[in-house]
Amino acid sequence: MRISFQGAARQVTGSLHAVMSDKDLIFLDCGMFQGKRQQSRELNSVIPYDPDLITNILLSHAHIDHCGRIPLITKQDRFTGHIISTHATADACKYLLKDSAKIQESDAAYINYKTVKRFLHELDRSSSRPHISRKELKKLKKQLKSKPHRLNQSLIDELLDRFNLNRIWPLYTTSDAEDAIDSFRPTNCTRPVRVGKNMSATFYNAGHILGSAMISLQINENGKKKTVMYTGDLGRFDKPIIKDPNHQFNKEDKEVDLLIMESTYGDRLHEPVVDLKPLLKEVIIETFQRNGVIMIPAFSYGRTQELIYYLHELYLENEVPKMPVYVDSPLAINITKVFGEHPETYDQDTHEIFLENGLNPFMFPEIQYVNSVQDSMNLNRSSEPHIVLAGSGMCEGGRILHHFRHRIADKRNTILVVGYMAQHTLGRRILDMGLEYEQSGRKGQPPEVRLYGSDYKLAARVKRLGGFSAHGDKDEMTRFLKESGLIIKRIAVVHGEEEQSLSFCRHLQKEGYQAFVPKHGETIEM
């Protein structure tokens, strides 16, 4: 049998590891590459195997860098397999894959808009315009946007056809995502399930995000048994809501021939999980005293629910003034519903603090879920102190921008950064400039940020709450290996920037493991 590393090798996105026996081809995850637009598009449009050869796809969890390419396979009739995941992952994918499709559709629309705009611009500058008058050209350029932020899709389509311009199609559409959802066959943790002619798999809780799993794959080839285990993304210990990473494996899964292990933070140590609540408390009290609003850009899946959990706990303990909390994101509302439907994934604390007292961790008197655009706009105008959670997590779009537009220039307010802000995102600029201004003692004029084409003073306080990472750090991943009792022959280190993976690999070797970092596209024999 062979294993081929077709994504998330020496990088963090595009997870896809192919396990091939003489009878089956199994994908462990089928995730999307993320990063620079053009490069990611090219990587994402290639599926390295013929769809009719793929037996099944085993999915570790619902993050897009692990599941985002599934619709590309299921939309081809030649794929006859299923997507096997936990129940909670399948439920979360219902919303996340459709959301991903919408992003693909709007990305394609934007690229097409740019193509048309560039073409009209060039026409305008050229001396010979055989098919179009200057007057019509001027009118068309004006009409490309129907509203400042909305593209005039039908006109863009018409012009692409009329001038025979290169049209970009979305990688997949909402209806492709809906078809993909029909291919899911959820399974329970710790019970083996048949996934191929000579393969079975057992899912174990990975503690990374609701529904996340490690997958142990048993392969019987020519009378020989091999075990391949895949960590997916490995969570932290003592995180709120979900259980810690599993460390009790069934007997038949204990001897592992190859462990495919993530290394996102293979060279880093996080702040401890327990420090979060006091910091959150401090920010709430300070902002309340200033009569301000706390704006929290948060990812809809995971981070939002953790924050709701902590806020609920602080409110139950009467530790903070009880300002209203608004969750202003339709996706976050749907995902929170999925969290509510899967108490089997909750840890002991969540049971003791909430469920045993008849409380839903995501429901309390001060919380309101804001679905409609109208209610969201009304919230922008509210003058009472409150907390609002909205997407997108890195402030690259979504409703958080409208809250910023109304409140960023007011020094009573706080922007609370709870997640990773990648380089070149608005979130990162706000974080860097805001913290620098704070450190200077807020001397002089506040820095300026650009929102919707205008400059705004960043007078709101910028605070960062670390420790929310959903990935175990170097020590936590080592702790998992030690406590798991697994007897491991070899470890393939994946899902990390190259330095993180190489450093974690060296650390594993020092700990006595045989470890290596595969390259993208590398195939090993077992």
Residues within the interface to Zn ion (CB under 5 A): 63, 233
Q: From the CB of 60, what's the least distance to Zn ion, in Å?
A: 8
Q: With H, G, I as helix, E, B as strand and everything else as coil, classify residue 368.
A: strand
Residue among 311, 342, 346 nearest 326 (CA): 311
Question: Which C-beta is closer to Zn ion: that of 233 or that of 476?
Answer: 233
Residue 261 to residues 14, 76, 190, 478, 518, Cα–Cα distance (Å): 15, 30, 19, 11, 11
For residue 300, the minimal CB distance to Zn ion (Å) is 14
CB 395 within 8 A of CB 427: yes
Which C-beta is closer to Zn ion: that of 63 or that of 98? 63
Q: In this structure, how many other beta carbons lie within 10 angstroms of the beta carbon of residue 35?
A: 14
Amino acid at 229: M
176 versus 262: smaller Cβ distance to Zn ion: 262
Least separation, in Å, of the C-beta of 166 and Zn ion?
34
Of the pair 44, 376, the CB lying nearest Zn ion is at 44
Distance in Å, CB of 13 to Zn ion, minimum: 10
Euclidean distance between CA atoms 460 and 448, whole angstroms: 11
C-alpha 501/C-alpha 497 separation (Å) is: 6
Which DSSP string corresponds to 408-448? TT-TT-EEEE-S---TTSHHHHHHHHHHHHHHTTS-SSPPE
Q: Shortest Cβ distance from residue 242 to Zn ion (Å)?
A: 13
**Which is closer to Zn ion, CB of 91 or CB of 233?**
233
Minimum distance of Zn ion from residue 66's CB (angstroms): 6
Instruction: State which residue, 338 or 415, has the beta carbon closest to Zn ion.
Output: 338
Detail the DSSP E strand segments found in 71-211.
83-86, 145-147, 150-151, 184-187, 193-196, 199-205
User: Measured from the CB of residue 468, what is the shortest distance to Zn ion in angstroms?
Assistant: 13
Q: Where are the alpha helices (DSSP H) in 290-372?
A: 303-316, 330-340, 348-353
Q: How many CB atoms lie within 10 A of CB 254?
A: 16
Euclidean distance between CA atoms 525 and 21, whole angstroms: 10
User: Judged by CB, which is closer to Zn ion: 63, or 407?
Assistant: 63
